[in-house]
Structure 1
Amino acid sequence: MVNLIQIKTFRNLTIVKLKKKIIWLQKLKKNNVLSKNTFEKFILSKKTTIRLLELFYTHLTKVQSVCIPYQICGFDILGSARTGSGKTIAFLIPIIEFFYTIQWNLKNGISALIITPTRELSLQNYYVLKDLLKYHSFSHGVVMGGANKKTEIEKLEKETTILVATPGRLLDHLKTTKNLKFQNLQFLIIDEADRCLEIGFEEEIVAIVKLLPKKRQTVLFSATQTRNIQSLSRISFQKTPVLLEIKENTREKIIENIDQGFVICKPEDKLVFLLTLIKKNRRKKIITFFNSCNEVKFFSALFRVIGLNVLELHGAKKQFKRTSTFFKFCKTKESILFCTDIAARGLDIPAVDWILQFNPPLEPKEYIHRIGRTGRGIHGKGWALLFLYPSEIAFLKFLKKNNINVKEFIFKKKKFSLLKQRISRFIEKNFYLKKLSKLAMKSFLNSYMNYRLKNIFDFRKININLVSESFGLNSIS
């Protein structure tokens, strides 16, 4: 039981913390650090304002200063803004303020719906929402593939006001879950819409939109405006939306904050070079990107056996493990994450030191999204390293044409032959690792044939026998 003294102590501590944050804000004002471009310019409720101060949100990002007024005024919005520009806060604050201002009845059912492409991004948006709602009484929830559906149904039946969801699971609930109240829906937000379409959710989103009430405010955000986005917008919007294209010189900021490099690596040396590099930087926070789930599985298992505590994140992993891995990596100051492009977009992972791209991305534009996981924040600094085969060097010219200059990182040349032999012998004796390495090799070859830039990533130019050595195999048999 919690006694009255404990409750008083807790309240006093909370007041002291809040006073400190108010004094901090006043100092910023006196020193003219706060400009007009702060959340003060919007007349927000005290509950929201206090929470923003506690979370140290003061200055508005460009997308927030542009989009919040339009959304508060009730306009439909078709917005284009880069990942990490502050979109989540931009669309959540108007929703919270609307429900608070008109004293929304909590029994009205699901009144705001936020659709996101991946489970990790759904969780991230949900926890930002949860943080902002600390002093508000609106119920909130998240539904996504891989989670327990029965548990989700129980929560949905308890009058959820704001719901975050992935498209597939949401459509499933709309079609099968009884007593779902959507008739009072006020807001439909589709976040990272271009990513939703890329990973095959177009049919699900179209079906969802058709099942929802037509009288609502719709906000659709994407990093790029494509033909598919335009066709989706025609279905989603009931009236002509306000077009807001937020340009923030993304590439210049990325180049400014991130030291980008490449290394030309022979196929047979790639595995041992990665191992050597990670061992040297094991006290750093590192994300390594691969192009397939099987590659992530194999290299994670191998590095763990060698003695490196590697976390893995990919689409074939069960949801509860994906969730725990994501938050575990976010909280640690030094850790190693092996992942697919599932972690390339939207996720705000703090203090990442190194981005390693063991394989160049299948889609060239994913290069920017991958390296964008580091160097985040005003004072953020990070390093990015791209592994290339000698036959892939033309990819650097492609990047240069897109105003991305990557310099060569020079590493001391070492003789890897002894280490390669030890690894290959070890894999040969371990049935489980050998099976994983063969599957990884097969997935790599399949993905290599799916590169869009066929003139650069030419399957005929790679030596398969040498490539097999980067998977610890002596041959491809």
Structure 2
Amino acid sequence: ISSLFTSNPETVAAPISSEGVQYDPSNAPLIDDTSFQGLGLHTLLTSHLQEKMHFDHPTAIQRAAVPALISQNPQDLFIQAQTGSGKTLAYVLPIIHALMASPDRLTRESGLFAIVIAPTRELANQIYSVLESVVRCCHYIVPGIVIGGEKKKSEKARLRRGVNILVSTPGRLADHFDNTEAMDLSAVRWVVLDEGDRLMELGFEETITKILSKLQEKSKAHIDSVRGLPNRRVTVLCSATLKEDVENLGKQSLHNAVYVNVDNKSTESSRTDEFSAPDQLHQEYVVVPMKLRMVSLMGTIVNIIQTRNNAKIMVFLSCSDSVNFHFSMLTRASNTDYGSEEESESENAAEGEKTSLPSHVLKTYLKSTSPMICKLHGSLSQPLRKSTLASFTKLSSGPSVLLCTDVASRGLDLPSISHVVEFDPPFALEDHLHRVGRTARVGNEGWSTIFVLPGKEEGYIDNVLAPLHKSPPIRRDYSTVLSSAFGGKLVWQDIATNAQLDVERWLLQSASNLSLAKDAFTSHVRAYTTHLSSERQYFSVRELHLGHLAKCFGLRETPATLGKANNASAGDQVFGETRKKRLGDHGPDYAKKKMLKIAQMHASVNADEFN
């Protein structure tokens, strides 16, 4: 009996490839892309999105972008979508999915794999908070943020300990590239440029180019040992609008990019310059004469709160001085009891810089509690800006109002914003889209109101803004706004007049209050001159009635008188000193008496008109 294991030919083992080709199952049940699981994301990640973050279905832009970024060989991506459509998760989820799916167990020491660049600190903080929420299902993935506003030593220590995903502003990131030795860029697989249009507007083109060149120089992605990650750097450019400078940024940063938007999910070339407001946004405009702008703003806020008691309202103004004035005006003590100037000055000094206060002024016209008023603009320090956003976001009961400049119009996902009020018209068309994009987010309804002056500014609505909206903007007259807000025993004209006079008396009560109003007036005029040349036919500073404009800041003096008043202390003092030196001790009537004496002398000698 022969043995089974003798006289057998030798076999030569074929080399086993560690990177076998993976195929999708051909007979698996079909899963549609209306769920996160259907997009092909990691099971643990999809469960976390649904159970902890309460995201049941992906948005249209997420359904278009996620599959392209989690494919076997992802390409660069150009994502264009309306504000509030979920662009942040569209690039965050694929990055975290890939890190979770890697066969190698990653830690913070594994390296920096993704960099997200945002134009403003507020947007960077928001992206970082989204990352923190998502990675709670995989604690070994560590996000980090460096945006300035804190000691550079603290940021360097954070980078030295190790982060896997880094959120940063361009300037701060470039600074760390040059001065932080512990920052290892060799493993970077993803670079995201969020709000590309804003990056260009703020002049970061040269900085972005420098960052991308440095990454290209330091990259070792093609020889890196981490399995399951792309073997090249993938760049994602996000923008709500598509302009020439954004196109140029795309040409510099992207390579063979796939263009993704909601209408055509992913194409190579079909790009368009057209963009629009969300279909579910209700757009209104109020035609208000210049003198009535301030009381009409108060009436608009009152009407919104009367309609929705827990309304969250964002009011956009043209400049930080205007924000400061309206914040102080709406949060002053009361309509009648102002106290002495000394008491007011000491109270302001004791309070210091506050950015969130209740409005007792608006409460007089409301049956509800005092609405909270917050302010936000670029001149505030970073801690104040951060605390203001946190305070406004956490306000869940009762009405709240955020007075802000366009620093709050880009990228911020402030929850439950019900109304946007553009008290000052936008400086560019895309600014309007970003402003109204704070409401009507992720399929929810939203309302927006813009103030315009009678006449040419009405043409701006018909010719420029109306084509951006699915439904034509609804016109409101100031009389409708004021009569609805200021009801009572007196007629609405009298109540509105009293509201205006209360502000004027408040300004006269304190030099600091008056200075706020003057600064706001001056800055508003300067800002008005910065409208695009193509829109000057609607916004011409030469046609502004500056006396009426002063009135809408509570000022009783004309601008000419304001200018003289501002220079009186210095100019009059110099003129007085010179005059005193010239006249000596003869007194102010000396010159008059001298001329009269000369005239009498000529008359006594019969001098004619030629002598």
TM value normalised by structure 2: 0.69
Contact 2:317 2:404 in 1 (8 A): yes
Q: Which runs of 5+ in 2 are unaligned?
A: 1-30, 220-231, 265-273, 335-358, 360-371, 484-491, 563-611
Confirm whether residue 397 of structure 1 aligns to residue 424 of structure 2: no
Runs of 4+ in 1 over 6 A off after TM superposition: none
Task: Look up the SS of the partner of 2:300 in the other structure.
Answer: helix
Deviations 1:208-228 (A, max 9, x none): 112113541111111222221
Residues 147-162 of structure 1: pairs in structure 2 closer than 5 A: 147-162=150-165
- AA paired with 1:66? A
For 2:450, the aligned partner's letter is: L
> Shift of the alpha carbon at 1:147?
3.4
- Kept in 2, the 8 Å contact 1:81–1:247? The answer is no
Structure 1 match to 2:537? 455
Match of 2:363 in 1: none
Q: 2:257 is matched with which residue: 226, 234, 241?
A: 241
* 1:158 counterpart letter in structure 2: R
Q: Report the residue type matching 1:389 in the other structure.
A: L
Paired letter, 2:288: C
CA distance in 2, matches of 1:262, 1:82: 21
Q: Is the 8 A contact 2:39 2:63 kept in 1?
A: no
Taking a change above 3 Å as real, the CA distance of residues 431 and 449 of structure 1, as seen in their structure-2 partners, is same
Rg comparison, structure with higher value: 2
Alpha carbons of 1:44 and 1:246: their partners in 2 closer, same or farther (altered >3 Å)? closer
Amino acid at match of 1:111: F
Distance 2:388 2:59 in 1: 29
Show the counterpart of 2:169. Answer: 166
Query: Do 2:108 and 2:161's aligned partners in 1 also have CA atoms closer than 8 Å?
Result: no
Does structure 1 residue 406 correspond to structure 2 residue 465?
no
Alignment check: 8 A CA contact 1:310 1:336 kept:
yes
Identity %: 30
Equivalent residue letter for 1:327: A
Match of 2:299 in 1: 276
Deviations 1:185-208 (A, max 9, x none): 111011111111112222221221
Residue 404 of structure 2 aligns to which amino acid in structure 1?
C
3-state SS in 2 of match to 1:127 = helix
Match of 2:391 in 1: 328
8 Å Cα contact 2:145/2:166 also seen in 1: yes
In structure 2, the partner of 1:138 is 141
1:299-378 matches, cutoff 5 A: 299-306=326-333, 308=359, 309-333=372-396, 334-378=399-443
Distance in 2 (CA, whole Å) between partners of 1:83 and 1:397 is 23
After superposing the two structures, state which structure 1 stretch, 339-348 or 459-468, moved more: 339-348
182-191 or 44-53, larger mean C-alpha shift: 44-53
Q: Aligned match of 1:40 in 37, 40, 51?
A: 37
Moved more, 441-450 or 108-117: 108-117
Could you tell which deviates more after superposition, 98-107 or 462-471? Answer: 98-107
Aligned residue type for 2:439: T
- What does 1:202-221 correspond to in 2, within 5 Å? 202-213=205-216, 215-221=232-238
Structure 1 length as normaliser, TM-score?
0.87
Q: Output one character per residue of 1:392-420: Cα deviation in whole Å (capped at 9) or x when no partner.
A: 21111222344562112232252433322
Secondary structure at the aligned position of 1:393 is classed as helix
Matched, 1:112 2:192: no
Q: Is the 8 A contact 1:109 1:180 kept in 2?
A: no
**Aligned match of 1:287 in 304, 310, 314?**
314
Q: Identify the residue that residue 498 of structure 2 maps to in structure 1.
A: 418
Specify the alignment match of 1:29 in structure 2: none
Q: Distance in 2 between matches of 1:252 and 1:108?
A: 42
* Contact 1:287/1:337, CA 8 A, preserved across alignment: yes
Classify the secondary structure of the residue corresponding to 2:161: coil
Shift of 1:344: 1.4
C-alpha change, 1:150 and 1:135, in structure 2 (3 Å) is same
Is contact 1:108-1:181 (8 Å) kept? no
Corresponding position of 1:12: none
Do the aligned partners of 2:283 and 2:474 also contact (CA within 8 Å) in 1? yes
Give 5+ residue unaligned stretches, structure 1.
1-33
Q: Matches of 1:52 and 1:401 in 2, distance apart?
A: 36
Q: 1:258-269 to 2 correspondence within 5 Å?
A: 258-269=281-292
Note if contact 1:77-1:244 (Cα within 8 Å) is conserved in structure 2. yes
- Measured in 2, the distance between the counterparts of 1:347 and 1:216 equals 27
How many residue pairs match? The answer is: 440
Q: 2:609 aligns to what?
A: none
Shift of 1:330: 1.7
Residue 351 of structure 1 deviates from its aligned partner by 1.8
- SS of residue in 2 equivalent to 1:305: coil
AA matched with 1:115: I
| 1:298 and 2:325 correspond | yes
> What is the alpha-carbon distance in structure 2 between the residues aligned to residue 279 and residue 403 of structure 1?
26
Distance, in Å, in 1 between the alignment partners of 2:548 and 2:292 is: 9
CA distance in 2, matches of 1:182, 1:205: 15
SS of the residue aligned with 1:336? strand
**Secondary structure, in 3 states, of the residue corresponding to 1:141?**
strand
Secondary structure of the equivalent of 1:433?
helix
Query: C-alpha distance in 2, partners of 1:403/1:474?
Result: 39
Shift of 1:46: 3.4
Supply the distance in 1 between the matched residues of 2:473 and 2:556 (Cα, whole angstroms): 33
Between 287-296 and 34-43, report the one with greater CA deviation: 34-43
Please tell me the residue identity of whatever aligns with 1:58.
Answer: D
Distance in 1 (alpha carbons) for counterparts of 2:452 and 2:191: 42
Structure 1, 287-296 or 54-63: larger mean CA deviation: 54-63
Residue 245 (structure 1) shift = 3.1
Whole-angstrom CA distance in 2 between matches of 1:336 and 1:400: 26
- The answer to whether the 8 A contact 1:121-1:346 is kept is yes
How far off is 1:367 after superposition? 1.8
Distance 2:500 2:333 in 1: 13
1:235 Cα deviation after fit: 2.1
The match for 1:175 among 164, 178, 182 is: 178
Q: Distance in 2 between matches of 1:190 and 1:363?
A: 22
- Is residue 427 of structure 1 aligned with residue 507 of structure 2? yes
